[in-house]
Amino acid sequence: MAGKLGRVLGPRGLMPNPKAGTVVKGEDLPQAINEAKAGRVEFRLDKTANIHVPLGKVSFSIDKLTENMAALMSALKKAKPSAAKGSFIRKITVTSTMGPGIKVDVNRALSMEHEE
């Protein structure tokens, strides 16, 4: 059964794996559950080098959405490969699921501070 699922989910990048944090050891399970409940979000590039990440919900306050955006920007800065030259992020667009996109100033977004 798992082999059949692997053939379908594997090429899409949907199979659980330790690198993505979806497979953990037994002793690390409580920490993984707490992170998931706290709203941990995974991000990766798609085939066209776009990153799709949920920032929040309509019910979130503006302060919470700003905090989430700052956390995303700091995570992207940390994830930048040291060999990458030039501008790592060229455009940022924020949108609802089926709504129009709103362009965000890249320099202003990258200068956001996130307190950990």
pLDDT tens-place string over residues 48-69: 888 888 888 889 999 999 988 8
Residue by residue, DSSP assigns 34-68 as: HHHHHT-----B-TTS-B------TTS-HHHHHHH
**pLDDT value of position 45:** 78
Nearest to 58 by CA among 94, 93, 33, 104: 94
- Encoded amino acid at 60, one letter: F
Nearest to 39 by CA among 25, 24, 60: 60
Q: What is the 8-class DSSP label of residue 10? A: T
Give me the half-sphere count of Cα atoms (radius 13 Å) on the Cβ side of residue 26: 0
pLDDT tens-place string over residues 67-93: 888 988 888 888 877 887 877 888 999
CATH architecture of the domain with range 45-116: 2-Layer Sandwich (3.30)
Residues in the chain: 116
Domains of the chain, residue spans: 1-40, 45-116
